[in-house]
Structure 1
Amino acid sequence: MVNIQSSYTVTPSEPTPEVRLFSLCEQIKLRTHAPSFYAYNPTNFDKINIHNLRDALSKALSIYYPFAGRLCWTQGGRWEIHCNAKGALLIEASCKGKTLEDLRDFVPNGLVTQLIPNIDYSAPLEDTPILAVQLTRFSCGGVTVGVAMCRGALDGTGGMRFINTWAKLARGEPLDESDQYPCHDRTELNSRKMSTGSEFSDKNGHDHSEYGTPPPWLGSLGTEDAKVAVEVMKLTGEQVKKLKMKATSTNGNGEMTKPFSSFEAIAGHLWKSVSKARYEGNSAQPTRLTTLVNCRNRLKPPLPPVYAGNAAFPTTTPTCTFGDLIENPVGFAATKVKGAIAKVDDEFVRSALEYIDNVKDMNLIRYNFHYPAKSVHKGPSKGNPNLFVVSWMNFSYEHADFGWGVPYYFGPVYMDAEGKAFCLNKPNGDGMVHVAISLDSAHMPAFKKIFYEDI
């Protein structure tokens, strides 16, 4: 059991601009917070000073001042960031009688979910902090830092830069120019600035089905007490190489393809494995894979590398069937993933912004994007044929050293939506990848068996 010991509202250490920031990209995200945590090896408790952590956070918020603000509603069910310096939430907690080893490979459920701040979403949007952090001490001397960042304000890349800047300030090290001057100009992702009309949607044929209703579950009803199970699958560097070679050798039609990235090969393998685990003789069941793409370097001209907002756009594969994925080699699925990522270029992003700008029901887009498809059957959904895979690979979390050493683990905290997966790799160069995945508990045993056997 995690016990809260103290709670602080941390405001910027210096006066900050009181402005309102709006981005169309951020409208498709939820007001909820993306939870993650960092685990640190046992150390001397005296080295972990909550006041030093709080002072460093205050300084970091004077640089990343939007994260000390609040979302507020504007017209059409949209929101903007009001930079009002209301502050971030910092919590100090303890977990007595437990060690980090009790977290069971950091599977994101159970005790792990208590390691991040609990956000009260019944409170008005204007009263909900954009950033909340929890420091938890364990009996073994280890600590975790749980971070909750509002999806409607920043993405993983921007959040990682902020955490690393905060850690550097906590260590007492000087900041370089990129740390001191992040880009907060949200108009860089405002279609009213980027284009003059809907020409990109029309001319290039982007239908933006990624915001439409996903394929529904056509299979059996399942059971009323169906639960989501979460597991962390571990791939060695050799297994990742083998997957890439298998995917590259053929695209399903006997044709040679260009090499796949590790993420493309793993995502294709995941999609095929999950479809086989869900298979009930329903070869015609439609399915699609969704992922997120960081567009900072895909725009012309590119966004500044220090852009601190949300620049992650969703993209989807063409809709396939379970039969397509099961009967073809993994290169078939990986090719679909590769194509979905490749199409996110400058024109695609501009077209997507125009599409978002013209949407009437923003809540419907947010729902379609973030949640599994409803069943065609009446009543609660009993199945999901789709997969949402997010890459947290190459995140520079090794720089999140607050003075206690480099974190030895970084990952998601809870996954309550069926059919979602995160891919994470370690920064030590050994090539190992961890895949955290949530599935219907009835499908998880078959998936775990298929996942490794098919490699």
Structure 2
Amino acid sequence: MVSIKSIHTVVPSEATPNGTFLLSQSQQIKAHTQALTIYIYNSNHNHNIIDTMRHSLAKILVHYYPLAGRLRMIEGGRMEVECNNKGVLLLEAESTNTLQDYGDFEPNDALRPLQPAVDYSEPMENLPLVMVQLTRFACGGVCVGFGISNVVVDGISGTLFVDAWAKLARGGTLGEDEKPLFLDKMAILKAETNDEKPFTASRFEHREFKQLPVMIGRCDASEESKKETDLAILKLTREMAEKIKKKANDDGCLEFDHEAVTAQKHWRPYSRYESIAAHIWRSACKARNADHNQPTVVLTVAGIRNRLKPPLPLNYFGNATHPTVTPTCLSGDIASKPLRYGAQKIREAIELLTDEYLRSAFEFIERQDHLGCLRPKLNRESGCVEGPFLGNPNLNIWSWMSNMPTYGPDFGWGRPVYMGPGEITGDGRAFIMPAASGEGNLSVAIRLQTPHVEPFVKFFYQDI
């Protein structure tokens, strides 16, 4: 049982700029939701750590002052951040459980009380951009449940913020290269070419803005979206992950993708993400047992900092990501053809995001009369995003493989023994992430329609 002991609104400890903080075109299409992450610490401190967290949070907000503001809607369904110093929310909680009661802390409903509850029935202008819940366990361990606006911040910016906050909490100071860089979004992420030739969005198909495939015989995904789902968590040892990668790269050049592969002048082996994501895709297609000709895609979100020309600085503050979708494939092909077929399709989606493509996408967004047509809608009563249905027959696969627990933030209690997403909702959504055991082991957490979970697990391990 978790109980809230105190609630604090934390504002910057010094005066900060007022006014508005511009959002890029890339940020404008994000759902107005909180990305939830948990950090678990095997701490055993008896002093009142809430004061340390509160004071250091006030100090770091001086540098990250837009996070103390609020989102607001402006003309054309666009959003901006009002830097009004309303502060962030810090909750102090206690749990009667011990760390051992939560097992490996991988995403499930039992973790929900360890995360700050977001009341999406509140107007956008009232919701803090950052919410933190500090929970002390009966054994002395600590959980930091961290929520931050998906619109304002991506994984890199969020990590920079939490790491900088942790450094101040343990008594350090920030160097100039550790401070966020606020750039003019209109100048950096604008839709224009370098050769003065105007872009036209029609130069690219922009699959990310189109309807995803639905089940054969259906005109929409309404029926599939109502079906009950369950979460499956699968363990991958380092050896198993390497075996999947080797399988994707050793299948040989096949007739169906030989031209696509050999056309690349500098072809490189498929990565762990490409290989494991393809393995997940194939296992899901088999488990769903759809018609061979059932169209299917994988949607993912990729960072674009290094894809733009010139590239954005590492400490650029904002959400610099963009959705991308694989070419439409047939479920039977993904299920029956060798693994490199799916891996190649996933690679094509990621490599689609060139500077030219991205600036075309920015122009496409900019030209919309109202961005409500591109942004997932939020049901304020349920807190659920009502955007494009990403489940059956499709998947939405995220990678957390670079966020290894040993590199998590140290608030003065040592490195976290686990870090990962707080919850996984929606059919077809999957995360590939480090296992709590470390040593290069991974976990795959995926939510599927209930009848598909058991066969998915069977095919996942059977095909390794």
1:378 — aligned with what?
Answer: none
Greater CA deviation, 226-235 or 58-67? 226-235
What letter corresponds to residue 331 of structure 1 in structure 2? R
1:5-20, aligned counterparts within 5 Å?
A: 5-20=5-20
Distance in 1 (alpha carbons) for counterparts of 2:388 and 2:242: 33
Distance in 2 (alpha carbons) for counterparts of 1:450 and 1:42: 39
Distance in 1 (alpha carbons) for counterparts of 2:156 and 2:225: 39
1:115 — aligned with what?
Answer: 114
1:65-104, aligned counterparts within 5 Å?
A: 65-96=65-96, 98-104=97-103
What letter corresponds to residue 339 of structure 1 in structure 2? E
1:409-420, aligned counterparts within 5 Å?
A: 409-420=418-429
Q: Are residues 1:218 and 2:211 paired?
A: no
Q: Are residues 1:136 and 2:144 paired?
A: no
Q: Residue 241 and residue 32 in structure 1: after superposition, are their counterparts in 2 closer, same or farther (change >3 A)?
A: same
Secondary structure of the structure 2 residue equivalent to 1:199: coil
Distance in 2 (alpha carbons) for counterparts of 1:403 and 1:176: 19
1:437: Cα distance to partner?
Answer: 1.1
1:395: Cα distance to partner?
Answer: 2.6
What letter corresponds to residue 207 of structure 1 in structure 2? E
Contact 1:91 1:133 in 2 (8 A): yes
1:54-453, aligned counterparts within 5 Å?
A: 54-96=54-96, 98-191=97-190, 199=199, 201-202=201-202, 205-218=203-216, 226-249=227-250, 250=252, 252-253=254-255, 255=258, 258-280=268-290, 282-367=291-376, 384-395=392-403, 398-425=407-434, 430-453=439-462
Q: Residue 206 and residue 45 in structure 1: after superposition, are their counterparts in 2 closer, same or farther (change >3 A)?
A: farther
Greater CA deviation, 395-404 or 84-93? 395-404
Contact 1:425 1:434 in 2 (8 A): yes
Normalising by structure 1, we get a TM-score of 0.91
Distance in 1 (alpha carbons) for counterparts of 2:248 and 2:40: 34
What letter corresponds to residue 216 of structure 2 in structure 1? L
Contact 2:304 2:321 in 1 (8 A): yes
Q: Residues 259-299 of structure 1, C-alpha deviation per residue, up to 9 Å, x if partnerless?
A: 0111111111111111111114x111111001111111111
1:72: Cα distance to partner?
Answer: 0.7
Structure 2: which 5+ residue stretches go unaligned?
262-266, 379-384
1:19: Cα distance to partner?
Answer: 2.7
Distance in 2 (alpha carbons) for counterparts of 1:251 and 1:439: 32
The number of equivalent residue pairs is 443
1:444: Cα distance to partner?
Answer: 0.6
Contact 1:188 1:194 in 2 (8 A): no
Contact 1:93 1:137 in 2 (8 A): yes
Contact 1:94 1:137 in 2 (8 A): yes
Normalising by structure 2, we get a TM-score of 0.89
Q: Residue 197 and residue 223 in structure 1: after superposition, are their counterparts in 2 closer, same or farther (change >3 A)?
A: closer
Contact 1:13 1:59 in 2 (8 A): yes
1:146: Cα distance to partner?
Answer: 0.5
Structure 1: which 5+ residue stretches go unaligned?
375-380
Distance in 2 (alpha carbons) for counterparts of 1:155 and 1:130: 13
Secondary structure of the structure 2 residue equivalent to 1:22: coil
Q: Residue 278 and residue 426 in structure 1: after superposition, are their counterparts in 2 closer, same or farther (change >3 A)?
A: closer
Identity over aligned pairs, percent: 41
Contact 2:404 2:434 in 1 (8 A): no
Contact 1:216 1:373 in 2 (8 A): no
Secondary structure of the structure 1 residue equivalent to 2:60: helix
Greater CA deviation, 4-13 or 248-257? 248-257
1:187: Cα distance to partner?
Answer: 3.0
Distance in 1 (alpha carbons) for counterparts of 2:400 and 2:187: 24
Distance in 1 (alpha carbons) for counterparts of 2:322 and 2:240: 29
Contact 1:157 1:395 in 2 (8 A): no
Contact 1:372 1:419 in 2 (8 A): no
What letter corresponds to residue 344 of structure 2 in structure 1? T
Distance in 2 (alpha carbons) for counterparts of 1:219 and 1:93: 50
Structural RMSD (CA): 2.5
Greater CA deviation, 242-251 or 302-311? 242-251
Distance in 2 (alpha carbons) for counterparts of 1:441 and 1:245: 31
Distance in 1 (alpha carbons) for counterparts of 2:334 and 2:66: 44
Contact 2:288 2:452 in 1 (8 A): yes
Q: Residue 87 and residue 251 in structure 1: after superposition, are their counterparts in 2 closer, same or farther (change >3 A)?
A: farther
1:212: Cα distance to partner?
Answer: 1.2
Contact 2:434 2:442 in 1 (8 A): yes
Q: Residues 182-229 of structure 1, C-alpha deviation per residue, up to 9 Å, x if partnerless?
A: 335433554257777851534xx3121111111112379989983221
Distance in 1 (alpha carbons) for counterparts of 2:418 and 2:284: 26
